[in-house]
Amino acid sequence: MERPIYLDYNATTPVDPAVVEAMVPYLFERFGNASSAHAYGYEAREAMERARAQVADLIGARRGEIVFSGGGSETDNLAIQGVIFANLERRPHVVSTTVEHPAVLNTLQYLKRRFGVESTLLDVDEDGLIAPEQLARAIRPETVLVTVMHANNETGTIQPIAQLATIAQDAGVCFHVDAAQSVGKLEVDVNALGVDMLTIAAHKLYGPKGIGALYLRQGMSLDPLVHGSQQEHGLRAGTENVASMVGMGMACGIAKAKIRTEGPRLIALRDKLQTLLEERISGTVLNGHLTQRLPNTLNISLPDAVGQTVLAYAPGVAASTGSACHSGHTEPSPVLMAMGLTRDRALGALRLSLGRWTTPGEIERAAGLLADGLQKSEHLRLLA
């Protein structure tokens, strides 16, 4: 049976074969503990530091400013909790947005519940953007952290991070950006952005799952999230996952080599998919910013439809919706609702995200399959 067309690259990416090849030796022949004081340990440590340099090179950082972690969510937690726990005596305040990843929003809820940490969530406009002047008004004397997602995982909308970071810096406030969706898709330079901390997740850029990294600007100090020995600058204890670090480093190296050609290719395919769907389905509406979005991401709402139902009748396409199903009840995406969409439009959303192995032929077939899926779902609704 033919595999479905994969249009869910924002959820996760396949591991690049070159990444797998680079990792394999560190799962068997070069299996040493990077903290060991013998040849096996030296070999592992050298590989780990090469990988650290590759990650740093992708984002314009220094090697010593990269802290490996267990993934994007853990990295967000390290950044946010690390700053808060280092400043608890100040009754700290955090500024974020209503459209952040749950790794940020749920962490802020936890800090409020357990430690009374206050946070202000900035609203977004109909394109999913926050206005820089909102941030300036939200910062208080006790604000210690601003955390804003670079590119939204559902709509692809890209926030004006450099402007926001400047506002935070002028107020003496640490700025963290969750760049899990943007690193590898956009040219990201931490110095141009002016951020203090930045989250990367390997599995979003064709690396392995369960490994991520935090860019931590030199001179910044955090409380550790995982306590124990002194691995990762004392911020994340535990024997290093060298094979996955090597894989993430290789994935970052490949991304840097491909980024200037891959971006335009994906934009052309994404826009072709949008055009085909608009031709086949009258009333299709784009969600998110028309141009200020990730090159691979298309979030659209189909008329008089539930996105999850359409996908159920189009099994030849592996994609996701802007809604989450809980106990048989479909709820609209909080991100889309925060942008001011009606409930019906939010429920009709599809998130179609393209990637390295998406082809023009797949785009043509996917548009037809989704249009057919909508027709079948409409027929079912009329019979009900």
**Residues involved in catalysis:** 325
Beta strands 5-6 and 349-353, pairing class = unpaired
Question: Edge-to-edge, what's the strand order for the sheet holding 118-122?
Answer: 66-69, 212-216, 197-201, 174-178, 143-149, 93-97, 118-122
Are residues 146 and 93 in contact, defined by beta-carbon separation less than 8 angstroms? no
Closest CA to 197 of 171, 161, 230, 225: 161
